[in-house]
A and B are shown apart, each in its own frame.
Chain A
């Protein structure tokens, strides 16, 4: 079954390829609308028991180590500082809920606490890696026009999807009508900037919470971090900072997918995953 490539109402860049649904995790989002499309769905008949055990092992081993993909070596506090991630907006623009993440205020400019940012970024990248490892769809969203092209090219490079254009109201909540029946929604949404062009919270955050989709978001000092599952307090305005985030996410996703291929070969699943090796 070919997953619908979401091309309507914007540019969703991604590879048009067969997404081999994994055994038990061939997920449709948990919204009431999708029960009816089970008929058009993938063959969910259980596979042979041996393969099930091996797949389970592949899926469960990474969850046991705290840093299975060794993501802590990808960035350091100094890198974040050099990319100006700690620079926030002025005191007047500060969001009340961002106060715990701020280090202080230097001459009215908010400085984000990079110690906390390191931890949050670590956990966010780890989550992204695990989702990519399990073959989940990741959607990168950023309504900043300055970085639209960067986000789209980054998504194309790591084989995932991006939406850097105007967000129509029902993209997630009304997906089967907007795109057609049998759409698979993203399993993770990464916001490289949680605000839209009028400095309000992006509609996608609320919609993702409604559709039970976890979100990772870079929250600046004027953003609302409450609904974002894995917020990453940091600067979202400087090109240096955005390039750092894009580079990190791309590396993480590619690393996770390579690891998956490696694990499958290691545990002898190469027979059932021909598409994975042809990626």
Chain B
């Protein structure tokens, strides 16, 4: 069998010593130490199990906090905050974290409702000097579109014909040939 499946090497050594194959004088250095301070889990080799199909209980739970709701909404509305994250400092407070803390503060004061809390937090931070710009505002159609862009060629040609019908008909009495795009 594979090494270590049935017993760890401690038991192998212990049995070798008990049977006399290994003399006490040749006892390994680690033997006493291992006996005095054994590991938490016996180091047996665990065979890799074939893939388990179907549902199985989630072994490692996801980590979510209450403040994550606030954070999600913040990132949706404001995008990434105005200031970048500085990871070299362990006590760094990011824009989002400031927002969250302010939100929790206002919530604990308990006067406003949920819908207004978000707005209020933004206003409170603005009062403290932190400007938050909304991400992706409504698309504004500018009224100053050049009038030439609205003209159509067919209309222009029709105007030309109505303006000077007489001149076109003197061209040998033929109906004006259709314009062939080339």
Contact = CB atoms under 8 A, between A and B. Distances in A.
- Do they bind each other? yes
Contacts, number: 109
Interface in A23-42: 24-30
Interface in B8-41: 8-9, 12-13, 16, 22, 24-30, 32-34, 36-37, 39-41
Secondary structure class of chain A's binding surface, majority of residues: mixed
Interface residues of B, number: 35
A176 to B, nearest CB: 16
Report the contact-size class of chain A (Cβ under 8 Å from the partner): 35 or more
Contacts of A231: 39, 41
Contacts of B48: 96
Nearest to B21: A30
Given A30-B28, A104-B61, A123 B33 contact: no
Given A30-B16, A96-B49, A226-B43, A214 B63 contact: no
A236 B8 CA distance: 26
Contact of B63 (A22, A26, A104, A229): A104
B3 A187 contact: no
Contacts of B33: 63, 127, 130-131, 134
B22 A106 contact: no
A28 B54 CA distance: 50
Given A96-B49, A97-B46, A63 B60 contact: no
Given A209-B3, A227-B45, A99 B27 contact: no
Contacts of A27: 26-29
A37 B182 CA distance: 100
A209 B45 contact: yes
Contacts of B27: 24-25, 27
A214 to B, nearest CB: 5
Contacts of B176: none
Interface of B: 3-4, 8-9, 12-13, 16, 22, 24-30, 32-34, 36-37, 39-41, 43-46, 48-49, 59-63, 90
Interface in A84-138: 91, 94, 96-97, 99, 102-106, 110-111, 119-120, 123, 126-127, 130-131, 134-136
A29 B152 CA distance: 95
Contacts of B30: 127, 131, 136, 187-188, 213-214
Interface string A227-239: 1111100000000
Given A24-B24, A229-B39, A214 B13 contact: no
A29 B36 contact: no
A27 to B, nearest CB: 5
Given A28-B26, A96-B49, A134-B29, 11 more contacts: A30-B13, A99-B59, A99-B60, A105-B61, A110-B60, A120-B40, A123-B37, A123-B40, A126-B37, A131-B30, A214-B30
Contacts of B49: 96
Nearest to A45: B25
A267 interface: no
A264 B45 CA distance: 39
A96 B36 CA distance: 30
Nearest to A120: B40
Output the residue of B3, B40, B43 with the most chain A CB within 10 A.
Answer: B43
Contacts of A96: 48-49
Contact of A130 (B37, B41, B45): B37
Nearest to B17: A30
A213 B113 CA distance: 65
A149 interface: no
B29 A212 contact: no
Contacts of A28: 26
Nearest 4 interchain pairs by C-beta: A104-B63, A63-B36, A130-B33, A106-B63
A244 interface: no
A102 B63 CA distance: 11
Contact of A30 (B4, B22, B61): B22
B60 A104 contact: yes
A206 interface: yes
Interface in A211-233: 212-215, 226-231
Contacts of B34: 127, 214, 229
